[in-house]
Amino acid sequence: RLRKWQERIRTKDAGERNLQFALSEIDRMASALGVPRSVREVASVIYRRALKEDLIRGRSIEGVATSALYAACRKEGIPRSLEEISEVSRVERKEIGRTYRYISQELGLEMRPVDPKKYVPRFCSELELSEEVQTKANEIIEKTAEEGLLSGKSPTGYAAAAIYAASLLCNEKKTQREVADVAQVTEVTIRNRYQEQIEAMGIHG
Amino acid sequence: MTDPKDTINIENVVASTGIGQELDLQSVAMDLEGADYDPEQFPGLVYRTQNPKSAALIFRSGKIVCTGAKSTDDVHESLRIVFDKLRELQIQVNEDPEIVVQNIVTSADLGRNLNLNAIAIGLGLENIEYEPEQFPGLVYRLDEPEVVALLFGSGKLVITGGKKPEDAEHAVDKIVSRLEDLGLLE
DNA sequence: ACGTTACTTTCCAAAGC
DNA sequence: GCTTTAAAAAGTAACGT
């Protein structure tokens, strides 16, 4: 009898320790990413729900914690790409992606695809581009996405191309390399998306 | 107006069977030309047929998996070749072992571009998976037939998980009517 | 700025770790 | 869960030239 009781305490303590570890990891990663406190709270809620629904079995605590943070950033409208998230996590990109898809499905998070416009303010400020460029980039994204150009394309690459195009149009040119570095995509991707976007916008230049 | 059903093409058929006899894969690997066997890496021996093109995974238990064939007829032809090769090595093989198709992979074309964002919302976010940062296709699981469809912006699609060629046809029909009902196939 | 190769996703069986 | 095999879809990436 005593043994069972001690075991319960042991598991309870272990579970408590694991939860504390997960929450401190979320805090550490959130700080490294510079996201507001509200995002950490949303991530914590998602993590606790995953724990309650027993979704952590067969997965690492770190992987679920990182995925919860990725989901929280998206839910709060300030997405970070898997590439950016993986830079502050000890879990590799592929594992974060598959764990995110799993918890998102199981918890019924009903996450909408990321809107590329959500990346515009952050990328533009890192590039020190004006408000005018941001507005222009948003216009390009809005208009070309309506025409169906966005289907299947990565949101970061799409945003990067629109920002590159907008910087040219507003005479605040940034090179493809500069934009690519901030968005963490290749110049090839920017070139491909840029060509499609300017063609759809009817711009020549 | 091409019927999307007429664009269906079988790309791969996976089937399993067995010769009803245990095998010494080490000696089969020695005698069978072109056999790849690395038990440290994988317990099955890999044997490829050229015509029809396929890959057979042969196990110690005598069970065999055939994959890569473009039709169920090709699966039977490929396995007939594998059975004959084993008989040449003085291995007893049952008369005509039962061959069970486990999975058929099909491609098709809806003939129109798709707005995957609108389709994701229309089909219901709880019924689909669409993560363009990770993969350009929208994943749609059907209950009847029980298959998985990958929808792309080009209007092309992949149907997998079916066991009969008709499964893909029924799936394409359902997807087309579902998208038409939603006004998203235009 | 090309071209090639290779990786992402879905499905399934097999035997063993 | 992983390992191996095959195949398509389209996007992205990393090579070499």
Average pLDDT of span A19-33: 97
Separation between Cα atoms, residue B65 and residue B44, nearest integer Å: 9
pLDDT for residue A58:
86
Q: How many domains are there within chain B?
A: 2
Domain that holds residue B27: 13-101
B142 touches strand C (CB under 7 A): no
At B88, give phi and psi (nearest 5°).
Answer: -60, -25
d(C-alpha B37, C-alpha B48), whole Å: 12
B contacts of A110 (beta carbons < 8 Å): 125-126
**Whose structure tokens read 């990565």?**
A154
Query: Has residue B3 been placed in a domain?
Result: no
Same domain as B83, residue B17 = yes
| pLDDT per residue as tens digits for the range B77-117 | 999 999 999 999 999 999 999 999 999 999 999 999 999 99
pLDDT band of residue A89 (cuts 50, 70, 90) is: very high
Residue B62 located in a structural domain: yes
Model confidence over B61-82: pLDDT tens digits? Answer: 999 999 999 999 999 999 999 9
Q: Are residues B17 and B80 in the same domain?
A: yes
Do the domain assignments include residue B1? no
Quickly state the pLDDT bin for A7 (edges 50, 70, 90). confident
At B25-43, the pLDDT tens digits run 999 999 999 999 999 999 9
Same domain, B94 and B22: yes
Please check whether residue B5 lies inside any domain of the structure.
no
Instruction: Tell me whether residue B135 is in a domain.
Output: yes
DSSP assignment letter at B36: B
Mean pLDDT of A156-172: 98
What average pLDDT does the segment B14-34 reach? 97
CATH number of residue B147's parent domain: 3.30.310.10
Residue B6 lies in a domain: no
43-102 on B, CB < 7 Å from strand C: 43-44, 57, 59-61, 63, 65, 67, 102
Counting residues of chain B whose pLDDT is more than 90, the rounded percentage is 97
Of B101, B135, B153, the last residue of a domain is B101
More confidently predicted of A6 and B55: B55
| DSSP assigned state of B5 | G
* Residues from chain B contacting residue A153 (CB–CB below 8 Å): 132, 136, 153
* B62 touches B47 (CB < 8 A): no
Tell whether the model's pLDDT for residue B1 goes beyond 70: no
- Numbered residues of chain A with Cβ closer than 8 Å to any chain B Cβ: 81-82, 97, 101, 105, 108, 110-114, 145, 148, 150-156
pTM attached to this predicted model: 0.96
Arithmetic mean of pLDDT over chain A: 95
Q: Are B151 and B93 found together in one domain? A: no
- Give the model's pLDDT for residue A205: 58
Residue ending a domain, choose from B50, B76, B101:
B101
B145 within 8 A of B85, measured Cβ to Cβ: no
Residue A3 scores a pLDDT above 80: no
- Per the CB < 8 A criterion, the answer to whether A185 and A81 are in contact is no
Q: Is A101 in Cβ contact with B129 (below 8 Å)?
A: yes
What are the chain B neighbours of A82 within 8 Å (beta carbons)?
133-134
Over residues A172-195, the pLDDT tens digits come to 999 999 999 999 999 999 999 999
Q: Which residue minimizes Cα–C1' distance to C16?
A: B43
User: Both B145 and B164 in a single domain?
Assistant: yes
Local confidence band at A5 (pLDDT 50, 70, 90 cut-offs)? confident
Instruction: Please tell me whether the interface predicted TM-score (ipTM) of this complex is above 0.85.
Output: yes
How many Å apart are CA B64 and CA B86, to the nearest integer? 12
At B87 the three-state DSSP class reads helix
Give Cβ neighbours of residue A81 (< 8 Å, ≥ 6 apart).
A155, A156, A184, B133
β-partners of residue B66 are: B15, B56
Shared domain check, B97 and B25: yes
Q: What is the percent of chain B where pLDDT is above 70?
A: 99
pLDDT at residue B18 greater than cutoff 90: yes
Single residue among B101, B124, B145 that ends a domain in this structure:
B101
Query: Does residue B7 sit within a domain?
Result: no
CB atoms within 10 A of CB A48: 14
Kindly state whether residue B80 falls inside one of the protein's structural domains. Answer: yes
